[in-house]
């Protein structure tokens, strides 16, 4: 099993897919952070509740990139035909898929963590240059238990989403239709369903992933806000999706002909 | 290596009379055509007869192979089995051990420079067995239809048929990439998926384009080696074997078709397997590459590997294989040694005559199959003697009369044609 894990990491390090994801994640998150911090007036960015926190919103795109990364990780095997050699070396296909799910989850989470650090570093650097002191950048705020828990949950979610992408890739195999389909589903269809049928929408996979990181920010309020799940509920829903797709991916991969 | 094999044979067959020993040496060397040693006396036809004696017992065959009512193969095999049954006794190099495997029909293990019998002696063990195998894709496509065959240890077997005949599907079923609809496949006594470290037992070239274009050749092999639990040192050896060391650091997308084919061969050889399954290995190779491939295959066979090689270009493997399996439209049409199939197939008599048209008419009256192109005739049915006598009896001048053994392609066409008619 250790050999398989090392082989999976070698696959990742010997191509540019993981590097590409990392570069894309940095561009979409660090770029906006630098722009916001550089261009917005100081008084908007300074102090408690300052807009400096908004500079980090680019990070919310990274989980979606992680899903695409997971899809590519599996569909590339079919696209380039390397799945033949993968299964020749390890005929226990279930094990191959499980190892891939775990490795990609780890890599997705690590890329998220490094990207987040770069974003914070970029914000802090510009803030220092401009003499801004956002309260959330203070050491006490960052080391706060609740903040650490949120960061951990965010990384876990990104890991789960990457694994979700691997499961999708194993099920659908065709790279471009799967990537296009999942982007349309996540960015458009789920949104429409959530607006039309909010009580159904909150159980949809990407809404659940989002709620997991946001911690049920959209409560059913007396003023008629959108219904949402609590973090534990969102976690269970997210895990259920991962489990169903992973088991289906393993089950189908074991029975599918590799022609 | 020839000297070592010969030395081994002398030691092994010390109790056998001298004339027998001489014959045994020649046989053992013949089993190692790459050795180019004592086997120089033996033609390739003898080599084939050795493994599957022809039904025709001509003098040479008798002299080399028969003694006391037993073929030499039977006697050498019996002696080897006796000696191996007594326990580890011989110091051999790995290639010689493989030759003994072939001769004795015993699966042996090779370690620390000593040979030991692992299983009990018996007839030459089939390493691949396919029984009543069928594969249906969807409802309409029956890709493989009730196919049965076996491949004996240490042989090179050609798996021949046109594109779409079902060769690749069968190859993939052998290694569990495709699930049979019905029937059974056994590789080295079990299913591929049940083998421990399968790539060290069975090497397969199934998809020469199955490499990530952005990965270097060396890394492509390392990924497979790592997953299969094979050391990186084997990666470099395999690359050297296929003469690709110089390009190993380049991305696969820059490789020519022939280079990708070699890389796929290296991948199959990574685990130093005893069985090689090669699906269309000559695809995309230029004449130089084809020549290289033939030499490569002969070297693999000389090391005692069992090779199953598929191709739709029959001429390209005709000079390489011992046995053939002929398949068309999912059905196995014929199997056996080429010499045996050729013996059962009609030879072609080629004639050139200024009176070709007249001769054609006479031959057609006698029921022969004739193709005429200007003054040249290709005749199936009568022997060259019968054609010559017919021409002489009718005062027909012949400029050329040649009996030609059918090529593998002729064989295939005849067999496929016969099946269609029936």
Answer whether A259 sits within 8 Å of B177, measured CB to CB.
yes
- Domain boundaries, given as residue ranges, for chain A: 2-255
| Residue B139 predicted with pLDDT over 80 | yes
From B274's Cα to the closest Cα of chain A, the distance in A is 15
Across A228-241, average pLDDT: 86
The answer to whether B353 and B398 are in contact (CB under 8 A) is yes
- pLDDT, residue B344, reads 65
Going along chain B from its start, the domains and CATH numbers come out as: 2-117 (no CATH), 126-338 (3.40.50.300), 346-405 (3.30.70.790)
pLDDT digit string (tens) for B147-157?
A: 999 888 878 89
Give the per-residue pLDDT at B56: 30
| Residues 6 or more apart in contact with residue A217 via CB below 8 angstroms | A211, A228
Q: Strand runs (DSSP E) across B51-174, as ranges?
A: 66-67, 70-71, 108-111, 114-117, 126-137, 141-152, 156-160
Does the CB of B99 have a partner CB in chain A at under 8 Å? Answer: no
The rounded distance, in Å, linking the Cα atoms of A225 and A208 is 17
**What integer pLDDT is reported at residue A217 of this predicted model?**
45
Sequence-distant (6+) residues with CB within 8 A of A165 are A66, A67, A68, A69, A70, A71, A72, A73, A74, A104, A182
Residues of B in contact with A83 (CB under 8 A): 210
pLDDT in the model for residue A101: 94
Q: Which of A150, A136, A143, A139 is nearest to A55 (CA)?
A: A136
Higher pLDDT, B51 or B366: B366
Q: Which two tokens stand for residue A259?
A: 């022609």
Q: Higher-confidence residue: A250 or B103?
A: A250
- Chain length of chain A: 259
B193 has a chain A CB within 8 A of its CB? yes
Exposure on the CB side of residue B64, measured as CA atoms within 13 A:
23
Residue from A123, A103, A225 nearest A166 by CA: A103
- Quick one: average pLDDT of B183-198? 91
Task: From B386, B299, B340, select the one nearest B98 (Cα to Cα).
Answer: B299
Higher pLDDT, A224 or A168: A168
* pTM, entire model: 0.74
Q: Which residue has the tokens 């069992």?
A: B306
Averaged pLDDT, B211-240 = 94
pLDDT tens-digit series, residues A9-50: 999 999 988 899 899 999 999 888 888 888 888 877 776 656
Per-residue model confidence (pLDDT) at position B345: 66
Contact pairs from chain A to chain B, CB under 8 Å:
88
Inspect the interface and report whether the beta carbons of B229 and A3 lie closer than 8 Å: yes
pLDDT tens figures, B24-75: 544 554 454 443 332 333 333 333 333 333 333 334 333 444 445 555 555 5
* Least confident window among A116-125, B237-246, B337-346: B337-346
| Nearest CB partner across the interface for B172, out of A6, A80, A258 | A258
Residue keyed to tokens 């296909």: A93
Q: Mention every residue, 6+ apart, whose C-beta is less than 8 A from residue A129.
A: none
Closest alpha carbon within chain A to B136: A257
Q: How far is A158 from chain B (nearest CA, A)?
A: 26
Average pLDDT over residues B258-271: 92
| DSSP percent split of chain B into helix, strand, coil, nearest 5 | 45, 25, 30
- The pLDDT value given to residue B62: 38
Yes or no, beta carbons of B198 and A85 under 8 Å apart: no
- Helix (H) / strand (E) containing B337: strand B331-337
Per mean pLDDT, which of B30-44, B89-103, B124-138, B408-422 is the most reliable?
Answer: B124-138
Predicted pLDDT at B49: 38
Q: Which residues of B fall within a CB distance of 8 Å from A259?
A: 168-169, 172, 177-178
Percent of chain B beyond pLDDT 90? 36
Please say if the pLDDT value at position A227 is more than 80: no
Q: Decide if B50 touches A, using CB distance below 8 A.
A: no
pLDDT over threshold 60, residue A121: yes
Most confident of A86-90, B7-11, B43-47: A86-90
- Is the Cβ pair B227, A14 closer than 8 Å? no
Query: Does the distance separating the beta carbons of B206 and A16 come in below 8 Å?
Result: no
Q: What is the dihedral of CA B332, B337, B339, B342, to 10 degrees?
A: 0
| Interchain contact A47–B (C-beta under 8 A) | no
């Amino acid at each position: 099993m250790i050999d398989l894990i090392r082989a999976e990491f070698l696959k990742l390090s010997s191509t540019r897919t993981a590097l590409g994801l990392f570069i894309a994640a940095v561009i979409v998150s660090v770029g906006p952070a630098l722009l916001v911090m550089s261009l917005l007036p100081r008084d908007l960015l300074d102090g408690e509740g300052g807009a400096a926190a908004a500079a980090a919103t680019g990070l919310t795109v990274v989980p979606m990139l992680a899903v695409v990364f997971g899809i590519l990780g599996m569909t590339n095997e079919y696209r380039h035909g390397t799945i033949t050699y993968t299964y020749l070396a390890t005929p226990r296909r279930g094990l191959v898929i499980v190892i891939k799910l775990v490795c990609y989850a780890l890599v997705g989470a690590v890329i998220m963590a490094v990207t987040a650090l770069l974003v914070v570093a970029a914000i802090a650097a510009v803030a220092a240059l401009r003499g801004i002191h956002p309260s959330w950048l203070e050491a006490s705020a960052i080391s706060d238990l609740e903040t650490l828990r949120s960061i951990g949950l965010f990384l876990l979610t990104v890991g789960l989403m990457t694994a979700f992408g691997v499961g999708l890739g194993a099920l659908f195999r065709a790279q471009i239709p799967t990537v296009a389909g999942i982007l349309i589903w996540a960015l458009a269809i789920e949104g429409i369903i959530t607006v039309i049928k909010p009580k159904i929408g909150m159980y949809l996979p990407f809404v659940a992933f989002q709620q997991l990181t946001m911690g049920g920010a959209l409560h059913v309020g007396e003023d008629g806000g959108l219904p949402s799940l609590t973090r534990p509920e969102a976690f269970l829903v997210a895990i259920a999706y991962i489990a169903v797709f992973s088991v289906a991916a393993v089950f189908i991969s074991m029975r599918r002909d590799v022609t | 290596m020839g000297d070592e094999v010969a030395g081994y044979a002398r030691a092994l067959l010390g109790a056998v009379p001298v004339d027998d020993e001489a014959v045994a040496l020649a046989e053992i060397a013949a089993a190692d055509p790459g050795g180019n040693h004592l086997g120089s006396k033996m033609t390739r036809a003898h080599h084939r007869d050795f493994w599957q004696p022809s039904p025709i017992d001509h003098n040479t065959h008798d002299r080399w192979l028969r003694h006391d009512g037993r073929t030499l193969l039977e006697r050498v095999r019996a002696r080897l089995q006796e000696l191996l049954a007594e326990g580890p006794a011989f110091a051999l190099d790995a290639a010689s051990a493989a030759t003994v495997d072939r001769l004795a029909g015993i699966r042996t293990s090779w370690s620390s420079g000593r040979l030991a019998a692992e299983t009990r002696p018996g007839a030459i063990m089939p390493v691949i067995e396919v029984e009543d195998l069928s594969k249906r894709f969807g409802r309409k496509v029956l890709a493989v239809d009730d196919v049965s065959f076996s491949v004996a240890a240490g042989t090179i077997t050609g798996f021949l048929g046109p594109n779409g005949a079902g060769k690749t599907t069968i190859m993939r079923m052998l290694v569990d990439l495709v699930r049979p609809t019905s029937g059974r496949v056994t590789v080295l006594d079990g299913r591929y998926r049940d083998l421990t470290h399968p790539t060290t037992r069975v090497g397969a070239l199934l998809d020469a384009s199955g490499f990530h274009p952005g990965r270097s050749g060396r890394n492509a092999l390392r990924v497979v080696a790592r997953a299969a639990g094979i050391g990186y040192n084997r990666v470099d050896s395999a690359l050297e074997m296929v003469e690709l060391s110089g390009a190993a650091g380049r991305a696969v997308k820059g490789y020519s078709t022939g280079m990708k084919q070699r890389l796929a061969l290296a991948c199959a050889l990574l685990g130093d397997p005893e069985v090689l399954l090669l699906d269309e290995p000559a695809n995309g190779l230029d004449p130089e590459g084809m020549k290289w491939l033939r030499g490569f295959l002969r070297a693999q066979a000389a090391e005692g590997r069992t090779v199953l090689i598929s191709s739709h270009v029959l001429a390209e493997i005709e000079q390489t294989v011992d046995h053939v399996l002929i398949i068309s439209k999912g059905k196995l049409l014929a199997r056996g040694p080429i010499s045996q199939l050729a013996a059962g197939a009609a030879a072609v008599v080629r004639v050139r005559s200024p009176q070709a048209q007249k001769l054609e008419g006479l031959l057609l009256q006698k029921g022969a199959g004739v193709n005429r192109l200007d003054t040249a005739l290709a005749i199936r049915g009568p022997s060259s003697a019968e054609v010559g006598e017919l021409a002489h009896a009718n005062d027909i001048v012949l400029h050329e009369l040649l009996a030609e053994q059918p090529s593998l392609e002729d064989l295939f066409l005849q067999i496929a044609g016969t099946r269609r008619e029936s």
